[in-house]
Chain A
Amino acid sequence: MTAGILDSASADAGARPWRLALRRLARRRAALLGLAVVAFFIAVAVAAPLVAPYDPLATDWRAVRKPPSALHLFGTDELGRDVLARLIWGARASLMAGLVSVSIAVGVSVPLGLVSGYLGGAVDGLLMRMIDAMLAIPFLILAIALAAFLGPNLTNAMIAIGVAQTPIFTRLTRGQVLAVKHEDYIEAARAVGNSHRRIVLRHILPNVLAPILVQATLAIAAAIIAEAALSFLGLGQQPPAPSWGSMLNTATHFLSQAPWMAVWPGLAIFSLVLSFNLLGDGLRDALDPRRG
């Protein structure tokens, strides 16, 4: 009974800061712009079959490397495929890589961070040394090594990026747990006889979510760049399926003849990543009460 009252009290108290944060976010123009661009890219990716002007895989030997025109707004590539259509379908690979790999990272590392921070002691020590080891290998190099051994395709690239991002989230979650675990309301929850599981899931987790959400938004930006990088190196999405990174790779062979092939995919990656970064920065400011 008491545990139930405590739960609903903390749930009530939990809802208000989130609403306040949303209101603060709505006042930040840069963050809203980021959100709008992200929403635009998601809409385009979802509606790709409807909005793409051509089949992204359809080659046309009469239209090889044609500069932008009314017929092909962003020009065509070395096989006469429409660059705009490939960009639109490529948004799917990029967004999926961003969302899936960060979901993998969060799904693995939040439970690890919760356990590590809450239990402390030998479990914590062991886990943290393993995390240190993963952090010692630069993010992209770890992702390249994983993708190389797993085999080059988009699914493995997403797994590799997700695994490579795990240490950051584990550290972050653990740090947050350490910060709240001796707070009065946790002590109170413990005093009324809640189980460890209940304390961690109902009382600690909701209170450490905000920084994880901010980090996740910024990590999506990093994951999108990483997927583009892996595809650029030939370790991500395999041709002929469209992806922004592999489009850039192909473009490097035709820089003097068809510069537009290099401009659009890069611009797409840049604007999507910039938008996630703007949104992440805005969320961080909105969720931090000190920043008002």
Chain B
Amino acid sequence: MTTFLLRRLALVLPTLFFVSVLIFGLQQLLPGDPALAMAGEDRDPAVIAFLRQKYHLDEPFPVRYLLWVEGVLAGDLGESIRIKRPVRDLVLEKLPVTAELAALAIVIALSIGLPMGILAAVKNDSAVDYAATMVALWGRSIPNFWLGILLILLFSVEWGLLPASGFVSPAESLSRNLATLIMPAFVLGNAIAAVMMRHTRSAMLEVLSSDYVRTARAKGLSETRVVLHHALRNALVPVITLGALEFGELLSGAVLTEQVFTIPGFGKLIVDAVFNRDYAVVQGVVLCTALAFILLNLFADVAYVLINPRLRE
């Protein structure tokens, strides 16, 4: 177990290194002088000189990279040129909004994907299985920003049931908070539900044909008990660990969903930063996303080994 943990941790370090080089290297893609690009349209010579000094633009790439890493390790992600605030504060401020949206989306995805996957596996090759496959195909193919627009058209414009955009913090009013988040969470959860359904279906199919399920059936247990008690518990392990990989999908989706529903989260932060040419914010957001993804995968891998006794030794 310790060897596994150490080996797994050792793999994280080079990944982190390359991620940081990649994200810092993005700057190199800026056409021309980065200071000119970052200074915006005014091109004030004082601002340009300040930027050049602040970002050590006269230094060679490796030196600038090391200085940047040094800052990041100390928790300094740079400063937003437009909003004049530390990127770290902006990220910490927007994170809870996206986290709540994502959590709701996962709840929706699980409550659609799990039962559908179980049903599709239990009734393998039936009309139910076929219908579930269709739903999964729909979830994979529909652009979530279009689904969002369609929901706004129906529930806000046509029926006036839900607010079309905006965000109310749960501390202010929980009911209005949920009213603003339910449509975006459904849009975001929809695509993940399709993936969850496929994972659940294939994991359940495998488990249902295993020896211990056959034994459970031979003991005369009811089918419901066999499916929910014996099969599902084991099928859930790969479903949950594979689900961790959907985190990226969730964040990519959040960028678009937050844009459609004007929710001031992480996704809106990066898009606004792109248009404000606020490159430090773009880099900061991408870095935090990658870091979260790497850590989540690490936890998922460790959890997988911890839960599965056969892999422990």
Interface set of A (CB-CB < 8 Å, partner B): 129-130, 132-134, 136-142, 144-151, 221, 225, 228-229, 232-235, 248, 251-252, 255-256, 259, 262-263, 265-266, 269-270, 273-274, 277-278, 281
Q: Which residues in window 231-260 of B have CB below 8 A to A?
A: 247-249, 251-253, 255-256, 259-260
- CB contact between A151 and one of B31, B145, B249 (< 8 Å): that residue: B31
- CB contact between B286 and one of A129, A145, A147, A259 (< 8 Å): that residue: A145
**A259 / chain B contacts, CB cutoff of 8 Å:** 153, 157
B107 within 8 A of A: no
Interface set of B (CB-CB < 8 Å, partner A): 11, 14-19, 21-23, 26-27, 29-31, 137-138, 140-143, 145-146, 149-150, 152-153, 157, 164, 247-249, 251-253, 255-256, 259-260, 270-271, 274-275, 279, 282-283, 285-286, 289-290, 293-294, 297
Q: Which A residue sits closest to B138, measured CB to CB?
A: A274
Decide if A235 touches B274 in the complex (CB within 8 Å): yes
Q: Which A residue sits closest to B134, measured CB to CB?
A: A30
Decide if A277 touches B14 in the complex (CB within 8 Å): no
15 more CB-based (< 8 A) A-B contacts, given A133-B22, A270-B141: A132-B15, A134-B18, A136-B294, A137-B22, A139-B252, A141-B289, A145-B270, A145-B286, A248-B149, A252-B260, A255-B157, A266-B150, A274-B141, A277-B137, A281-B137
**A229 / chain B contacts, CB cutoff of 8 Å:** 143, 145, 256
In whole Å, how far is A158's beta carbon from the nearest beta carbon of chain B?
15
In whole Å, how far is B70's beta carbon from the nearest beta carbon of chain A?
20
Decide if B152 touches A255 in the complex (CB within 8 Å): yes
Q: Which B residue sits closest to A234, measured CB to CB?
A: B275
Decide if A144 touches B143 in the complex (CB within 8 Å): no
- CB contact between B26 and one of A149, A274, A278 (< 8 Å): that residue: A149
- CB contact between B290 and one of A137, A150, A234 (< 8 Å): that residue: A137
Decide if B282 touches A148 in the complex (CB within 8 Å): yes
- CB contact between B145 and one of A134, A248, A278 (< 8 Å): that residue: A248
Q: List 15 A-B pairs, Cβ < 8 Å.
A: A132-B11, A133-B15, A133-B17, A138-B251, A138-B289, A147-B274, A148-B274, A148-B282, A251-B149, A255-B157, A259-B157, A270-B142, A273-B142, A274-B138, A281-B137
**A145 / chain B contacts, CB cutoff of 8 Å:** 23, 26, 270, 282-283, 286
In whole Å, how far is A137's beta carbon from the nearest beta carbon of chain B?
5
The 6 nearest A-B residue pairs measured at CB:
A133-B18, A266-B146, A138-B248, A140-B252, A274-B141, A148-B274
Q: Which A residue sits closest to B26, measured CB to CB?
A: A149
- Give the one of A136, A144, A251, A270 with max B CB within 10 A: A136
**B26 / chain A contacts, CB cutoff of 8 Å:** 145-146, 149
Decide if A252 touches B149 in the complex (CB within 8 Å): yes
CA distance A262 to B289 in the complex (A): 31
In whole Å, how far is A189's beta carbon from the nearest beta carbon of chain B?
33
Decide if A141 touches B274 in the complex (CB within 8 Å): no
**B16 / chain A contacts, CB cutoff of 8 Å:** 133
- Give the one of A146, A147, A233, A262 with max B CB within 10 A: A233
Decide if B149 touches A266 in the complex (CB within 8 Å): yes
CA distance A150 to B15 in the complex (A): 24
- Give the one of A235, A266, A281 with max B CB within 10 A: A266
In whole Å, how far is A234's beta carbon from the nearest beta carbon of chain B?
7
Decide if A149 touches B152 in the complex (CB within 8 Å): no
**A137 / chain B contacts, CB cutoff of 8 Å:** 19, 22-23, 248, 286, 289-290, 293
Decide if B29 touches A141 in the complex (CB within 8 Å): no
CA distance A274 to B297 in the complex (A): 30
Q: Which A residue sits closest to B165, measured CB to CB?
A: A252
In whole Å, how far is A107's beta carbon from the nearest beta carbon of chain B?
19
CA distance A33 to B260 in the complex (A): 32
Given the interface contacts A133-B19, A138-B289, A277-B140, does A144 sit within 8 Å of B255 by beta carbon?
Answer: yes
CA distance A151 to B31 in the complex (A): 8
CA distance A269 to B17 in the complex (A): 37
**A151 / chain B contacts, CB cutoff of 8 Å:** 31
Given the interface contacts A136-B290, A232-B145, A273-B143, does A141 sit within 8 Å of B279 by beta carbon?
Answer: no
Q: Which A residue sits closest to B251, measured CB to CB?
A: A138
In whole Å, how far is B302's beta carbon from the nearest beta carbon of chain A?
17
CA distance A234 to B285 in the complex (A): 19
In whole Å, how far is B166's beta carbon from the nearest beta carbon of chain A?
14
**B22 / chain A contacts, CB cutoff of 8 Å:** 133-134, 137
**B152 / chain A contacts, CB cutoff of 8 Å:** 255
- CB contact between B141 and one of A139, A263, A277 (< 8 Å): that residue: A277
CA distance A278 to B140 in the complex (A): 11
**B255 / chain A contacts, CB cutoff of 8 Å:** 140-141, 144, 233
CA distance A277 to B134 in the complex (A): 12
- CB contact between B256 and one of A133, A233, A263 (< 8 Å): that residue: A233
**B256 / chain A contacts, CB cutoff of 8 Å:** 140, 229, 232-233
Decide if A255 touches B143 in the complex (CB within 8 Å): no
In whole Å, how far is A127's beta carbon from the nearest beta carbon of chain B?
10
**A251 / chain B contacts, CB cutoff of 8 Å:** 149
In whole Å, how far is B167's beta carbon from the nearest beta carbon of chain A?
17
CA distance A151 to B153 in the complex (A): 32
In whole Å, how far is A223's beta carbon from the nearest beta carbon of chain B?
12
- CB contact between B270 and one of A141, A225, A281 (< 8 Å): that residue: A141
In whole Å, how far is A68's beta carbon from the nearest beta carbon of chain B?
15
**A248 / chain B contacts, CB cutoff of 8 Å:** 145-146, 149
Q: Which B residue sits closest to A156, measured CB to CB?
A: B29
**A256 / chain B contacts, CB cutoff of 8 Å:** 157
